Structure 1
């Protein structure tokens, strides 16, 4: 109930203020030489420009052009209220005021046209972040391999004593330069001091950058 009473009070106040402003604008226009229906058209023009500028401000979120025309219409309305309150001799209006009243229709038409046809800022949709397809997680694919068949072994039989065992192939001897052997011994000693284990041929080969055969020969001599 209180909400209804408050709304009615605001509406009544707006009607009273609009009627007084409308009357003051009519009286000022009539005093400036605009008689008949023309005097009634001036307050309608001022109020329409005021409402149009206000609606454009609400739609654009504070457009500067809308604020400018709202201020012009408000000054025209306030000026008429002050002028008709005894601040101006209504029987002898100065020429500058007659010029302002006569030029108001063109000014109001310009303001209404600019407010009606100025572009409205349309909010642009936010761009969606690009998806990096190269970094997308691919599903884990597990490929099962069939077990390889075990190699067939020859049937076991009694060992034949008359068949001598096959000789084991030995690696050919590789000549190691003394300077390289001394350098390798220093590396082996440092490795043994750090790890507590003798150096192997693979580590020795990676440290010295030598062929595998030469590394094996040095490792045998250092053992």
Structure 2
């Protein structure tokens, strides 16, 4: 545990020293190029922020081309300031091209940061589906699937029951009832002038319809 903490402390101290030296070199170059006061201190911050943004883009694995491009630009600005302050450049007589480069750096840094953020948001929007985000987990998309057809219950076939044959057996009619029916029929014919029918005969005799029909056939 102590060895790990020692390694972390050493790396942290080394990072702080490197950042402080690079920060100071960028400040000196910006100040020599005519950027005095707070502006000279803003340049190192701008370069370091662009470097960090590009590095984060490379770590995320999205749009690596843009990440490498702006990482190299920020690294060149930081490394160029370190080399320029090593005695290779007369800070008292800064060339015009360096003054132009330092003066145009804010626009370059703003463009790089905007492109890095915009391309990151665009790549996330393209890879994510809004419909999938709104859909709860565990529910599959069933819009294109046809609705299952409900199975109808199978009705067993019922064989029709044949109707019972009509009773063809003759109805037994007593002879006395037949004689009485003849008298009723004769009286009806004498009174109306027409032969008596089966319904009238049934009503006069008070017998069921089959027996009335049988009597009417015998008259």
TM-score of the aligned structures, taking structure 2 as reference length: 0.56
Answer yes or no: is 1:81 the counterpart of 2:88: no
CA–CA distance in structure 1, aligned partners of residues 122 and 5 of structure 2: 35
Aligned to 2:4: 3
RMSD of aligned alpha carbons: 3.4
CA–CA distance in structure 1, aligned partners of residues 62 and 110 of structure 2: 23
* Structure richer in helix, relative to its length: 2
CA–CA distance in structure 2, aligned partners of residues 53 and 120 of structure 1: 16
Aligned to 1:165: none
Q: CA deviation at 1:120?
A: 4.8
Give the 5 Å matches for 1:61-210. Answer: 61=62, 63-118=64-119, 119-121=121-123, 123=127
Q: CA deviation at 1:62?
A: 5.8
TM-score of the aligned structures, taking structure 1 as reference length: 0.55
Q: CA deviation at 1:124?
A: 6.4
5+ long unaligned stretches in structure 1: 129-223
CA–CA distance in structure 2, aligned partners of residues 34 and 70 of structure 1: 24
Segments of 4+ moved more than 2 angstroms? 119-125
Q: Is the 8 A contact 1:60 1:120 kept in 2?
A: no
Q: CA deviation at 1:90?
A: 0.5
Q: Number of residues paired by the alignment?
A: 154
In our comparison, the structure showing a higher alpha carbon Rg is 2
CA–CA distance in structure 2, aligned partners of residues 11 and 19 of structure 1: 12
